[in-house]
Structure 1
């Protein structure tokens, strides 16, 4: 049996970065626990201090297939290349010839949300291979393919 995983991002602004990744992946904000109308109601019930209430943010796959993404506030910024990154398959189901145009279209959309295009790789893994390396608003690299 497979073991469920969560992907955790360190962040300066957990909610802003979480909302960005929600847009990238079509994820939604994780709802509060059952029985609570809001996250504030839940946090009140467990005595969470006000200064800690924006220290984490989570998004989930509305279809329940993909992993939960958790964003946690850390004091330091990103200082080196990611050791792990996400490959976002924006061209899934398209013919290989149509994938670059879809990737470029998605780059433009994500740049409007604060992402940065870093590099384009075409033909690196053989004829027809294509991907674009991006950075999210806090500098974490990911690939569009």
Structure 2
């Protein structure tokens, strides 16, 4: 017997505000028939294509150290590359924590960002960027 991932839960101070911040980052929406509203202590968002869900739940504890678990985000196909996504998320209010672009040579690496409550996540290269670099290396 095995288990499957039902949803990812993010502890936070303000479930509604953080769920609203993450919706345009991920392209997610509220659950059909269950809209998130200000004051809700639990707010679920869902990927309309895959059904993957993220639950934001209010807790009294503040984030004080590095995440033990974080999201690695890759730009969706056709939406641009890593640097385009980085610019979009910085404009959206993310904070840059660390820049590891080029760490393994030109075009490689990732950027660590934080959401408004300090939860860290990474922006990776798009699959198109990876494919282009692989094709160039193969000649």
Q: TM-score range by the shorter chain?
A: 0.7 to 0.9
- Whole-Å Cα distance in 1 between the matches of residues 99 and 55 of structure 2? 28
Matches within 5 A, 1:62-141: 62-63=48-49, 65=50, 67-90=52-75, 92=77, 102-126=81-105, 128-141=107-120
Is this contact kept in 2: 1:32–1:39, CA < 8 A?
no
- Whole-Å Cα distance in 1 between the matches of residues 109 and 78 of structure 2? 15
Q: Could you tell me how far 1:103 is from its partner in structure 2?
A: 2.2
Structure 1 residues 24 and 74: alpha-carbon distance in aligned structure 2, compared to 1, 3 A threshold? same
Q: Could you tell me how far 1:2 is from its partner in structure 2?
A: 6.5
- Whole-Å Cα distance in 2 between the matches of residues 6 and 67 of structure 1? 7
Instruction: Give 3-state SS (helix, strand or coil) of 2:21's partner.
Output: helix
- Whole-Å Cα distance in 1 between the matches of residues 72 and 20 of structure 2? 18
Structure 1 residues 91 and 3: alpha-carbon distance in aligned structure 2, compared to 1, 3 A threshold? closer
Residue of structure 1 equivalent to 2:130: none
Flag structure 2 segments of 5+ consecutive residues without an equivalent: 125-139
Is this contact kept in 1: 2:16–2:36, CA < 8 A?
no
Is this contact kept in 1: 2:12–2:62, CA < 8 A?
yes
Q: Could you tell me how far 1:106 is from its partner in structure 2?
A: 2.0
Residue of structure 2 equivalent to 1:54: 40
- Whole-Å Cα distance in 2 between the matches of residues 21 and 142 of structure 1? 12
Larger RCO, structures 1/2 (Cα 8 Å, 6+ apart): 1
Number of residue pairs the alignment of both structures matches:
122
Q: TM-score, normalised by structure 1?
A: 0.72
- Whole-Å Cα distance in 2 between the matches of residues 128 and 113 of structure 1? 24
Flag structure 1 segments of 5+ consecutive residues without an equivalent: 41-52
Structure 1 residues 17 and 128: alpha-carbon distance in aligned structure 2, compared to 1, 3 A threshold? same
Q: RMSD over aligned Cα, in angstroms?
A: 2.6
Is this contact kept in 1: 2:30–2:36, CA < 8 A?
no
